[in-house]
C-alpha cells in the first residue's frame, strides 16, 4: 500500500477517535489480566448467524449493530466481509457504520474474510495477490475499531508440510502488514487441514508473531476430536466461536458439550469475547441465537476458573 493511502486511513482513524472520544484499537491480549470490574467473558454475535435473514433482504449490514443490540441484547458484533464486500474502501460507508455502532454502544470485534484467495496457494504470485486482497479488510477493521480479521488457512496441496510452509508464508506476509495497523490476523479451523487442531497449532507456532493467532470454532473440527482441537488452539486464541447447530428440549447443543468446551477455554486463561454463531437449520435464526446465548449464560457461571 502506498504512503498516501496509509496516511489517509490513519488520519481518518485519528480524526474519528478525536470526535468520538474513543481510544484507538490496539492488539488484544486475550490471556492477560483484566480489570476485576470487567466480566471475564463477554458475548458477541457472529453475523453469519443471520445469513438467511440478510440474504432475504430483511436486514442490511449497516443495521447489524443495532439489530444485535435490540433483538438479542448483544453489544459486540463480528462482521462477514461478503455482506459488505463492495464497501471495504468506501470511507463514507465505513464512517456511517462506525457512527451507528458507536451510537448504539456496540463494539466492533472482527471481520470474517472469505473469497479473497488462498493464503496457502502453491504459486508464490498467487499468495502475494491473496495477501493484497486482504489488506483492504485490515484497513477497514482498523477504522471500525476491530481487533482482528479472520482468515482461512487454505490451499490446494494435500501434502501437510507443503501446505503448512505456504500458509506460514502467507500469514507472515499479511501479519507483517497488519502489525502497522495494530490488527490481529486470526485463523479459524474452517475445513481442510485447518480443521486438524494439531496441524493448525503447529502452523501458528511456526509463524510466531504476536498478532497472528487462532479463532477456535466449536463446530468446525469435523472428523477431528473437537475438544482436543479446542485445547490445541486455545494457546493461540484471540477469539472464540461458540458455534451451534441444534438444541434438545433441555436447551443443550446436541453436538457440543458447551460446559466441557467452555471449561477448556477458561482453563487456557482466555479472557474476552465469545462469539455466538448459530449455523443450523432446525431452528429459526432468531431462536438459534437466543438458545446459544441462554446456554452460554447458563454454562459460564459453572466454569472453574
Torsion of CA 63, 281, 248, 58, to 10 degrees: 20
Q: Which residues contact 62 (CB under 8 A, 6 or more apart)?
A: 84, 93, 96, 97, 100
**Does position 256 have pLDDT exceeding 70, yes or no?**
yes
d(CA 72, CA 61): 16
d(CA 151, CA 132): 13
What mean pLDDT, rounded, does the chain reach?
A: 91
CB 80 within 8 A of CB 51: yes
For residue 91 the three cell numbers come to: 470511507
Helix or strand run (H / E) with residue 140: helix 124-144
**Does position 169 have pLDDT exceeding 80, yes or no?**
yes
pLDDT digits (tens, 9 = 90+) for 61-110: 999 999 999 999 999 999 999 999 999 999 999 999 999 999 999 999 99
pLDDT for 24 equals 34
Question: Which of helix, strand or coil describes residue 153?
Answer: coil
**Does position 31 have pLDDT exceeding 90, yes or no?**
no
Band the pLDDT of 27: cuts 50, 70, 90.
low
Band the pLDDT of 26: cuts 50, 70, 90.
very low
d(CA 247, CA 252): 5
d(CA 226, CA 107): 29
Report the share of the chain in percent with pLDDT over 90. 85
pLDDT for 9 equals 52
d(CA 182, CA 304): 32
CB 69 within 8 A of CB 293: no
**Does position 172 have pLDDT exceeding 50, yes or no?**
yes
**Does position 211 have pLDDT exceeding 50, yes or no?**
yes
Distance from chain centroid for Cα 296: 18
CA-closest candidate to residue 304, choices 58, 83, 4, 40? 40
**Does position 247 have pLDDT exceeding 90, yes or no?**
yes
CB 183 within 8 A of CB 211: yes
Mean pLDDT confidence for 156-161:
87
- Give the dihedral sign, CA 234/240/244/248: positive
pLDDT for 29 equals 64
CB 177 within 8 A of CB 142: no
pLDDT digits (tens, 9 = 90+) for 264-293: 999 999 999 999 999 999 999 999 999 999
Lowest mean pLDDT among 35-39, 40-44, 116-120: 35-39
Amino acid at each position: 500500500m502506498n504512503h498516501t493511502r496509509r496516511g489517509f486511513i490513519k488520519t481518518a482513524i485519528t480524526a474519528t477517535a478525536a470526535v468520538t472520544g474513543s481510544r484507538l484499537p490496539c492488539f488484544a491480549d486475550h490471556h492477560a489480566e483484566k480489570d476485576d470490574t470487567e466480566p471475564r467473558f463477554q458475548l458477541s454475535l457472529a453475523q453469519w448467524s443471520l445469513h438467511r435473514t440478510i440474504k432475504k433482504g430483511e436486514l442490511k449490514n449497516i443495521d447489524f449493530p443495532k439489530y444485535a443490540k435490540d433483538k438479542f441484547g448483544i453489544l459486540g458484533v463480528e462482521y462477514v466481509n461478503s455482506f459488505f464486500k463492495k464497501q471495504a474502501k468506501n470511507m463514507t460507508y465505513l464512517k456511517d457504520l462506525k457512527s451507528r455502532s458507536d451510537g448504539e454502544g456496540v463494539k466492533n470485534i472482527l471481520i470474517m474474510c472469505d473469497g479473497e484467495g488462498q493464503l496457502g496457494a502453491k504459486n508464490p504470485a498467487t499468495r502475494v495477490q491473496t495477501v493484497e486482497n486482504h489488506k483492504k479488510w485490515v484497513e477497514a477493521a482498523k477504522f471500525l475499531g476491530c481487533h482482528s480479521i479472520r482468515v482461512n488457512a487454505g490451499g490446494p496441496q494435500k501434502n501437510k508440510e507443503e501446505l503448512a510452509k505456504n500458509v506460514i508464508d502467507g500469514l507472515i506476509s499479511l501479519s507483517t502488514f497488519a502489525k502497522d495497523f495494530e490488527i490481529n490476523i486470526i485463523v479459524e479451523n474452517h475445513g481442510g487441514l485447518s480443521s486438524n487442531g494439531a496441524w493448525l497449532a503447529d502452523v501458528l507456532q511456526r509463524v510466531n508473531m504476536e498478532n497472528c493467532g487462532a479463532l477456535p470454532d466449536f463446530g468446525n473440527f469435523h472428523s477431528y476430536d473437537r475438544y482436543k482441537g479446542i485445547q490445541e488452539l486455545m494457546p493461540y486464541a484471540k477469539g472464540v466461536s461458540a458455534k451451534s447447530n441444534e438444541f434438545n428440549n433441555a436447551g443443550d447443543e446436541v453436538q457440543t458439550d458447551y460446559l466441557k468446551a467452555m471449561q477448556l477455554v477458561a482453563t487456557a486463561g482466555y479472557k474476552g469475547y465469545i462469539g455466538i454463531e448459530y449455523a443450523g437449520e432446525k431452528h429459526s435464526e432468531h431462536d438459534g441465537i437466543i438458545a446459544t446465548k441462554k446456554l452460554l449464560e447458563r454454562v459460564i457461571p459453572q466454569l472453574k476458573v
